[in-house]
Amino acid sequence: MAGNIEAAKKSDIDKWPPLEKTPYHVGIIMDGNGRWAKSKRLPRAAGHKQGAENLRQILESSVDFGIKILTIYAFSTENWNRPKAEVRGLMNLFDYYFGRELNELHKNGVQLRHIGQMAGIKPGMQDKIRRAVEETRNNQRLILNVAFNYGGRAEIVNAVRAIIKDGVLPEQVTDDLISQYLYTGGLPDPDLIIRTSGEFRISNFLIWQSAYAEYYITPTYWPNFNKDALYKALKAYSERNRRYGRVDQD
Protein backbone atom coordinates (compact mmCIF):
# COMPACT_ATOMS: atom_id res chain seq x y z
CA MET A 1 0.00 0.00 0.00
CA ALA A 2 2.67 2.47 1.09
CA GLY A 3 4.62 1.51 -2.04
CA ASN A 4 1.58 2.28 -4.14
CA ILE A 5 1.18 5.67 -2.56
CA GLU A 6 4.83 6.44 -3.12
CA ALA A 7 4.60 5.27 -6.72
CA ALA A 8 1.54 7.46 -7.21
CA LYS A 9 3.34 10.44 -5.66
CA LYS A 10 6.36 9.85 -7.86
CA SER A 11 4.27 9.72 -11.01
CA ASP A 12 2.53 12.93 -9.85
CA ILE A 13 5.90 14.61 -9.49
CA ASP A 14 6.93 13.42 -12.97
CA LYS A 15 3.68 14.70 -14.39
CA TRP A 16 3.51 17.99 -12.52
CA PRO A 17 7.06 18.86 -11.41
CA PRO A 18 7.23 21.43 -8.58
CA LEU A 19 7.28 24.96 -9.92
CA GLU A 20 9.72 27.68 -9.09
CA LYS A 21 6.97 29.96 -7.89
CA THR A 22 3.34 29.29 -7.14
CA PRO A 23 0.70 32.00 -7.02
CA TYR A 24 -0.72 32.45 -3.53
CA HIS A 25 -4.05 33.77 -4.75
CA VAL A 26 -5.63 32.70 -8.05
CA GLY A 27 -8.82 34.11 -9.55
CA ILE A 28 -10.75 32.14 -12.14
CA ILE A 29 -13.35 33.33 -14.63
CA MET A 30 -15.04 30.00 -15.31
CA ASP A 31 -16.29 30.69 -18.83
CA GLY A 32 -17.53 28.43 -21.62
CA ASN A 33 -20.10 26.17 -19.96
CA GLY A 34 -22.68 27.07 -22.61
CA ARG A 35 -20.32 26.46 -25.54
CA TRP A 36 -19.15 23.20 -24.01
CA ALA A 37 -22.79 22.05 -23.85
CA LYS A 38 -23.48 23.24 -27.39
CA SER A 39 -20.46 21.36 -28.72
CA LYS A 40 -22.03 18.21 -27.28
CA ARG A 41 -25.57 19.07 -28.40
CA LEU A 42 -26.64 19.33 -24.77
CA PRO A 43 -28.74 22.03 -23.08
CA ARG A 44 -26.84 24.91 -21.45
CA ALA A 45 -27.91 23.64 -18.04
CA ALA A 46 -25.84 20.50 -18.65
CA GLY A 47 -22.83 22.74 -19.22
CA HIS A 48 -23.32 24.49 -15.89
CA LYS A 49 -23.75 21.15 -14.14
CA GLN A 50 -20.53 19.87 -15.66
CA GLY A 51 -18.90 23.18 -14.74
CA ALA A 52 -19.91 22.74 -11.11
CA GLU A 53 -18.63 19.17 -11.19
CA ASN A 54 -15.32 20.38 -12.57
CA LEU A 55 -14.90 22.79 -9.70
CA ARG A 56 -14.33 19.84 -7.39
CA GLN A 57 -11.20 18.62 -9.18
CA ILE A 58 -9.89 22.17 -9.52
CA LEU A 59 -10.27 22.71 -5.77
CA GLU A 60 -8.37 19.52 -5.03
CA SER A 61 -5.73 20.33 -7.62
CA SER A 62 -5.34 23.84 -6.22
CA VAL A 63 -4.55 22.38 -2.81
CA ASP A 64 -2.13 19.88 -4.42
CA PHE A 65 -0.31 22.68 -6.21
CA GLY A 66 -0.03 24.85 -3.10
CA ILE A 67 -2.51 27.60 -3.96
CA LYS A 68 -3.85 29.18 -0.77
CA ILE A 69 -6.69 31.35 -2.02
CA LEU A 70 -8.97 30.67 -4.95
CA THR A 71 -11.53 33.23 -6.05
CA ILE A 72 -14.09 31.98 -8.53
CA TYR A 73 -16.48 34.08 -10.59
CA ALA A 74 -19.69 32.15 -10.14
CA PHE A 75 -22.42 34.69 -10.87
CA SER A 76 -22.12 38.35 -11.77
CA THR A 77 -24.62 41.12 -11.09
CA GLU A 78 -25.23 41.10 -14.87
CA ASN A 79 -25.99 37.36 -15.00
CA TRP A 80 -29.51 38.01 -13.66
CA ASN A 81 -30.32 39.17 -17.19
CA ARG A 82 -29.96 35.65 -18.59
CA PRO A 83 -33.14 33.72 -19.48
CA LYS A 84 -35.21 32.96 -16.37
CA ALA A 85 -34.87 29.18 -16.71
CA GLU A 86 -31.07 29.41 -16.91
CA VAL A 87 -30.89 31.66 -13.83
CA ARG A 88 -33.15 29.22 -11.97
CA GLY A 89 -30.92 26.29 -12.95
CA LEU A 90 -27.81 28.14 -11.81
CA MET A 91 -29.47 29.04 -8.50
CA ASN A 92 -30.28 25.37 -7.93
CA LEU A 93 -26.65 24.49 -8.50
CA PHE A 94 -25.44 27.13 -6.03
CA ASP A 95 -28.06 25.99 -3.55
CA TYR A 96 -26.63 22.51 -3.80
CA TYR A 97 -23.09 23.79 -3.42
CA PHE A 98 -23.71 25.95 -0.39
CA GLY A 99 -25.91 23.21 1.06
CA ARG A 100 -25.16 19.54 0.48
CA GLU A 101 -21.68 19.95 -0.97
CA LEU A 102 -20.74 21.96 2.09
CA ASN A 103 -19.88 18.91 4.20
CA GLU A 104 -17.41 17.79 1.60
CA LEU A 105 -15.80 21.23 1.46
CA HIS A 106 -15.69 21.42 5.24
CA LYS A 107 -14.12 17.96 5.54
CA ASN A 108 -11.44 19.01 3.09
CA GLY A 109 -10.48 22.09 5.07
CA VAL A 110 -11.95 24.63 2.68
CA GLN A 111 -12.86 28.01 4.15
CA LEU A 112 -15.78 29.32 2.16
CA ARG A 113 -16.28 33.04 1.75
CA HIS A 114 -18.79 35.00 -0.22
CA ILE A 115 -17.87 38.10 -2.16
CA GLY A 116 -20.66 40.14 -3.69
CA GLN A 117 -23.91 41.77 -2.72
CA MET A 118 -26.27 39.89 -0.42
CA ALA A 119 -29.11 42.20 -1.42
CA GLY A 120 -30.85 40.63 -4.39
CA ILE A 121 -30.15 37.04 -3.32
CA LYS A 122 -33.19 35.07 -2.09
CA PRO A 123 -33.39 35.09 1.73
CA GLY A 124 -33.20 31.28 1.97
CA MET A 125 -30.01 31.28 -0.07
CA GLN A 126 -28.61 34.18 1.97
CA ASP A 127 -29.07 32.07 5.11
CA LYS A 128 -27.32 29.13 3.49
CA ILE A 129 -24.39 31.30 2.46
CA ARG A 130 -24.07 32.80 5.96
CA ARG A 131 -24.20 29.35 7.54
CA ALA A 132 -21.61 27.95 5.11
CA VAL A 133 -19.26 30.87 5.79
CA GLU A 134 -19.74 30.57 9.54
CA GLU A 135 -19.28 26.81 9.63
CA THR A 136 -16.05 26.82 7.63
CA ARG A 137 -14.47 29.98 9.01
CA ASN A 138 -11.68 28.20 10.87
CA ASN A 139 -10.59 25.98 7.98
CA GLN A 140 -7.09 26.67 6.77
CA ARG A 141 -6.24 24.51 3.77
CA LEU A 142 -7.76 26.71 1.11
CA ILE A 143 -9.79 29.88 1.13
CA LEU A 144 -12.48 29.69 -1.52
CA ASN A 145 -14.01 33.06 -2.33
CA VAL A 146 -17.19 32.59 -4.26
CA ALA A 147 -18.01 35.71 -6.26
CA PHE A 148 -21.77 35.46 -6.34
CA ASN A 149 -24.00 38.38 -7.26
CA TYR A 150 -20.67 40.11 -7.69
CA GLY A 151 -19.62 43.14 -9.73
CA GLY A 152 -16.26 44.87 -9.40
CA ARG A 153 -17.61 48.38 -9.90
CA ALA A 154 -20.44 47.84 -7.40
CA GLU A 155 -17.81 46.60 -4.95
CA ILE A 156 -15.86 49.85 -5.31
CA VAL A 157 -19.03 51.95 -5.05
CA ASN A 158 -19.93 50.12 -1.81
CA ALA A 159 -16.45 50.70 -0.47
CA VAL A 160 -16.57 54.43 -1.23
CA ARG A 161 -19.99 54.72 0.46
CA ALA A 162 -18.75 52.92 3.56
CA ILE A 163 -15.61 55.07 3.69
CA ILE A 164 -17.73 58.25 3.56
CA LYS A 165 -20.17 56.87 6.15
CA ASP A 166 -17.25 56.14 8.46
CA GLY A 167 -16.19 59.79 8.24
CA VAL A 168 -12.74 59.02 6.82
CA LEU A 169 -10.87 62.22 5.95
CA PRO A 170 -9.70 62.72 2.34
CA GLU A 171 -6.01 62.59 3.31
CA GLN A 172 -6.63 59.25 5.06
CA VAL A 173 -7.81 57.62 1.81
CA THR A 174 -5.04 55.38 0.49
CA ASP A 175 -4.74 52.31 -1.75
CA ASP A 176 -4.58 50.13 1.34
CA LEU A 177 -7.60 51.72 2.95
CA ILE A 178 -9.72 51.16 -0.18
CA SER A 179 -8.52 47.53 -0.33
CA GLN A 180 -9.64 47.04 3.27
CA TYR A 181 -13.15 48.21 2.43
CA LEU A 182 -13.59 45.77 -0.47
CA TYR A 183 -15.27 42.36 -0.07
CA THR A 184 -11.77 40.88 -0.15
CA GLY A 185 -10.55 43.17 2.67
CA GLY A 186 -7.76 41.50 4.63
CA LEU A 187 -6.78 39.14 1.81
CA PRO A 188 -3.81 39.67 -0.50
CA ASP A 189 -4.54 40.62 -4.12
CA PRO A 190 -4.70 37.86 -6.73
CA ASP A 191 -1.37 36.99 -8.34
CA LEU A 192 -2.90 35.24 -11.31
CA ILE A 193 -6.25 35.53 -13.07
CA ILE A 194 -7.24 32.65 -15.33
CA ARG A 195 -10.00 32.96 -17.90
CA THR A 196 -11.21 29.90 -19.74
CA SER A 197 -12.86 29.69 -23.18
CA GLY A 198 -10.64 32.19 -24.94
CA GLU A 199 -12.27 35.57 -24.24
CA PHE A 200 -9.87 38.46 -23.62
CA ARG A 201 -12.04 40.34 -21.15
CA ILE A 202 -12.06 41.02 -17.41
CA SER A 203 -15.88 41.31 -17.20
CA ASN A 204 -15.96 43.40 -14.01
CA PHE A 205 -14.08 40.75 -12.00
CA LEU A 206 -11.76 41.92 -9.19
CA ILE A 207 -11.01 45.09 -11.14
CA TRP A 208 -9.32 46.87 -8.23
CA GLN A 209 -7.54 43.82 -6.82
CA SER A 210 -6.10 42.62 -10.13
CA ALA A 211 -4.19 45.82 -10.92
CA TYR A 212 -0.88 43.89 -10.88
CA ALA A 213 -2.15 40.35 -11.48
CA GLU A 214 -0.81 38.22 -14.29
CA TYR A 215 -3.43 37.08 -16.78
CA TYR A 216 -3.68 33.67 -18.37
CA ILE A 217 -6.27 32.96 -21.03
CA THR A 218 -6.88 29.52 -22.43
CA PRO A 219 -9.27 28.45 -25.21
CA THR A 220 -10.30 25.42 -23.11
CA TYR A 221 -13.93 25.54 -21.99
CA TRP A 222 -14.37 25.53 -18.21
CA PRO A 223 -15.86 21.99 -17.96
CA ASN A 224 -12.69 20.69 -19.68
CA PHE A 225 -10.27 22.73 -17.59
CA ASN A 226 -8.65 19.91 -15.64
CA LYS A 227 -5.61 19.46 -13.41
CA ASP A 228 -3.22 19.41 -16.39
CA ALA A 229 -4.72 22.63 -17.69
CA LEU A 230 -4.35 24.27 -14.27
CA TYR A 231 -0.74 23.13 -14.07
CA LYS A 232 -0.08 24.66 -17.49
CA ALA A 233 -1.48 27.99 -16.27
CA LEU A 234 0.66 27.84 -13.13
CA LYS A 235 3.73 26.97 -15.18
CA ALA A 236 3.13 29.96 -17.46
CA TYR A 237 2.81 32.13 -14.33
CA SER A 238 5.98 30.75 -12.83
CA GLU A 239 7.89 31.72 -15.98
CA ARG A 240 6.61 35.31 -15.95
CA ASN A 241 8.62 38.16 -14.59
CA ARG A 242 6.50 40.45 -12.43
CA ARG A 243 7.93 43.94 -12.33
CA TYR A 244 5.11 46.00 -10.74
CA GLY A 245 6.01 48.93 -12.99
CA ARG A 246 9.73 48.73 -12.17
CA VAL A 247 12.60 47.70 -14.46
CA ASP A 248 14.62 44.50 -14.12
CA GLN A 249 17.74 44.62 -11.94
CA ASP A 250 20.73 42.88 -13.60
Binding stretches for ligand FPP (CB under 6 A):
30-35, 48, 51-52, 55, 74, 79, 93-94, 97, 146, 197, 222
The nearest distance, CB 9 to ligand FPP, in angstroms, is 30
The nearest distance, CB 4 to ligand FPP, in angstroms, is 33
Contact 118, 41 (CB under 8 A): no
* Active-site residue identified among 4, 14, 31, 189: 31
Closer residue to ligand FPP in complex, CB, 26/52: 52
Closer residue to ligand FPP in complex, CB, 72/159: 72
Cα torsion 78, 79, 83, 89 to 10°: value is -160
The nearest distance, CB 64 to ligand FPP, in angstroms, is 20
Sign of CA dihedral 181, 184, 188, 194: negative
The nearest distance, CB 104 to ligand FPP, in angstroms, is 12
Q: Which helix (H) or strand (E) holds 28?
A: strand 25-29
3-state SS class at 146? strand
> How many other C-beta atoms can be found within 10 angstroms of the C-beta atom of residue 154?
16
Q: How far is Cα 207 from Cα 210, in angstroms, rounded to an integer?
A: 6
Name which of 118, 171, 123 is nearest 146 in CA terms: 118
Closer residue to ligand FPP in complex, CB, 37/234: 37
Q: How far is Cα 33 from Cα 75, in angstroms, rounded to an integer?
A: 13
| 158 catalytic per annotation | no
**HEC per residue, 59-79:** HHHHHHHCCCEEEEEEEEHHH
| 175 catalytic per annotation | no
The nearest distance, CB 76 to ligand FPP, in angstroms, is 7
Closer residue to ligand FPP in complex, CB, 23/47: 47
Closer residue to ligand FPP in complex, CB, 136/197: 197
Residues with catalytic function: 31, 79
